[in-house]
Amino acid sequence: MEYKLTTPLTKEALAPLQAGDTVLLSGVVYTARDAAHKRMMELLDAGAPLPFPVEGAAVYYVGPTPERPGQVIGAAGPTTSGRMDAYAPRLLDLGLAAMIGKGGRNQAVQDSVVKNGAVYLAALGGAGALMAGSVESLDIIAWEDLGCEAVRRLEVQDMPLTVILDSHGGNLYASGPAAYLASL
């Protein structure tokens, strides 16, 4: 199935999604990689607010390249999501609705996705220009000193994504290969 979703996301909007579905995501998406996640945890530990509203938010694990003249963003391919596994359950418990990246997630993240009615979406790795084509505007909102890892607020239109982990426990990285092997 293909779904069109707009942020902020709700549990009700995410509930129909199944591992393997296609999502065209529009609205605000925040970028954050490892260094930004570490700083977000430090803020939470200090009782300080995060640089963006996490409730219903989508976070894209990306460190875009510098934009060329006339472009909004440079190549914006996903980074390996496992780098954020230590931080993801805490953010999911605070209402983070969707994570966007590439690669598998550990069991704690998988369990937290189900517990919180969230999803993990994959962006096409190696296709940074394709992903960048969905970005209509970009603002750095926190930690500019982190360079490409600064937190950015992106406005996206129809960003093409695939559901990897759904809120019911589905995992495309487990079911996909199993279905393929069963078809042989």
User: Does 168 qualify as catalytic in the annotation?
Assistant: no
Q: Residues 9, 21, 33, 37: which is the catalytic one?
A: 37
Omega cis (within 30) before 8:
yes
The residues, any chain, with a CB within 8 Å of residue 89's CB and separated by 6 or more, are 108, 109, 111, 112
Phi (first) and psi of residue 82, to 5 degrees: -55, -25
Annotate 23-32 with b (16+ C-beta within 10 A) or e (fewer).
Answer: bbbbbbbbbb
Just list the catalytic residues: 37
